[in-house]
Amino acid sequence: MSLWNSQNSISALLLQPSKWIPLYEEFVTENASSVGQVESALRSLTYIIPGRYRDSEISSECVYSGVQLLTLYHDSLVSRVVSKLPSSAPRPPPTLHARYTKYWTSRSSQYHKAALTLQMIQYTELLWEMIARRRGEKVRWRVIVFIEIAKAICRLLLLRLTNSRPLVSPPLPERALDPRSTEEVEESEGCGKQINEGGRSSDSAWIMPRTGLSLPNLPDANDVSNYLISKVLTADDIKSPKALLHRVTGQGQLAEVLYIIRPIIYALAMQKWSGDKRNWRPWLIGFGMEYGCRQLAKADFRERVAGGLRSQTGLERDELRKRGWAMGWWVMRGAFYENITRSWLTSLTGKLEGKPLLDLVGGILNDYVHLWDNYYCSTTTL
């Protein structure tokens, strides 16, 4: 009888698609940690698929783009649940990036839409290039330029909505808390109180008899310094979220705008000299613009802010560091890749061939050489 009832309930559920989404959302929020592991596993799978069989790059990029878009949806679900948790629920301290991006996404719906659109374009740009490449090189470069223009429009809109504050990457808050973990902490604390009502719970926290409130545990005697440091508030901790980035004006604003439109100019230069991959002019234009924007922004900060670069907030230092590491991708682009990096990679994969385990690494690396050889978006960082 129970089997019959369960079959009937499943049949009724299948006949009502409107109930699928709420059930799926509930499953994701209750198993956020497991869902995150599945997402990571699928992403890892796409890293080893390219070149394994015919048209595998499109298949793997479809999986990658789909997983990334689904992750955006899952992040919004988890964020919605976390925002509804009671203030007493234990939460890890948010990162500076999370504080800043959550402030703007909650304050401005336009910021949230522009940031979401930007993220979606970034997650699917390589897939669009792969599809366009089948229609010919002219169509491919038109699509690339259109993608870069669309991303630049989103970034310029974000720059305006934040009152001329530099962009952060990513522009949306990242998933940092599993709602289930807070419930488990609360349940464990509740069990601890019930186990020992006489004064101390199972984790040695002191329970006050009259109020029922608990005092926090004393730190380990060997770890007092780290415990005290973790309780100290920094200057960034007491700043409002929007104060985590200084506004840019004058040459600083010019540097940020040039940094945003630099990919368009580089893509146009690559389109113009697409017949000669070894031509250094597009690479020098793109790298020169990015390096010049970086130096101009740093010079403006020194002149405009008291204390210079030492007065940067933690978020500004993190973003400057990210942009610095992103410049390393110029060794994989344009003439630098064609004239220098490619021959080095070919030599490296040749040395790894035929060696146990290392041969697998060389094979995967060799498969990615195909992407770096043929696709502009495979090395984009902005």
In-domain check, residue 325: yes
Which helix (H) or strand (E) covers residue 10, if one does? helix 2-14
Beta strand extents in 120-179 (DSSP E only): none
Q: Of 37, 52, 82, which marks where a domain is finished? A: 82
In-domain check, residue 142: yes
In-domain check, residue 212: no
Residue 336 backbone zone (phi > 0: left; psi -120 to 50: alpha; other: beta): alpha
Q: What are phi and psi of 177, to 5 degrees?
A: -140, 130
What's the pLDDT at 317? 92
Q: Looking at the structure, do residues 99 and 168 belong to the same domain, yes or no?
A: yes
CA distance 338 to 378: 15
Q: Looking at the structure, do residues 66 and 132 belong to the same domain, yes or no?
A: no
Q: Looking at the structure, do residues 78 and 100 belong to the same domain, yes or no?
A: no
Token pair of 240 as six digits? 């409002």
What's the pLDDT at 318? 93
Q: Looking at the structure, do residues 246 and 302 belong to the same domain, yes or no?
A: yes
Residue 53 backbone zone (phi > 0: left; psi -120 to 50: alpha; other: beta): beta
What's the pLDDT at 269? 96
In-domain check, residue 364: no
What's the pLDDT at 329? 94
Residue 40 belongs to domain spanning: 18-82
What's the pLDDT at 168? 94
**Mean pLDDT in order along the chain per 10 residues (382 residues):** 49 56 69 71 66 65 87 80 65 83 93 95 94 93 97 97 93 72 48 43 58 65 61 73 89 94 96 92 96 92 83 90 94 94 87 76 78 90 86
What's the pLDDT at 197? 44
Q: Looking at the structure, do residues 170 and 260 belong to the same domain, yes or no?
A: yes
In-domain check, residue 130: yes
pTM for this structure? 0.80
In-domain check, residue 151: yes
In-domain check, residue 69: yes
Q: Of 296, 317, 332, which marks where a domain is finished? A: 332
Residue the block writes with tokens 């959302």? 25
Residue 197 has what DSSP assignment? T
In-domain check, residue 223: no
Q: Looking at the structure, do residues 152 and 24 belong to the same domain, yes or no?
A: no
Exposed, middle or buried: residue 310 (CB in 10 Å: 0-12, 13-18, 19+)?
Answer: exposed
Residue 305 has what DSSP assignment? S
Q: Looking at the structure, do residues 167 and 277 belong to the same domain, yes or no?
A: yes
* SS3 call for 206: strand
What's the pLDDT at 271? 95
Which helix (H) or strand (E) covers residue 88, if one does? none
When divided into structural domains, the chain yields a total of 2
CA distance 68 to 42: 10
Q: Of 33, 60, 82, which marks where a domain is finished? A: 82
Q: Looking at the structure, do residues 258 and 321 belong to the same domain, yes or no?
A: yes
Q: Looking at the structure, do residues 255 and 170 belong to the same domain, yes or no?
A: yes
Degrees to nearest 5, angle at CA 245 with 243 and 123: 125
Q: Looking at the structure, do residues 111 and 71 belong to the same domain, yes or no?
A: no
* SS3 call for 338: helix
In this structure, are residues 129 and 377 in contact, taking their beta carbons and an 8 Å threshold? yes
Q: Looking at the structure, do residues 46 and 150 belong to the same domain, yes or no?
A: no
Residue 240 backbone zone (phi > 0: left; psi -120 to 50: alpha; other: beta): beta
Residues 257-296: pLDDT tens digits? 999 999 999 999 999 998 898 999 999 999 999 999 999 9
In this structure, are residues 243 and 321 in contact, taking their beta carbons and an 8 Å threshold? no
Q: Looking at the structure, do residues 170 and 249 belong to the same domain, yes or no?
A: yes
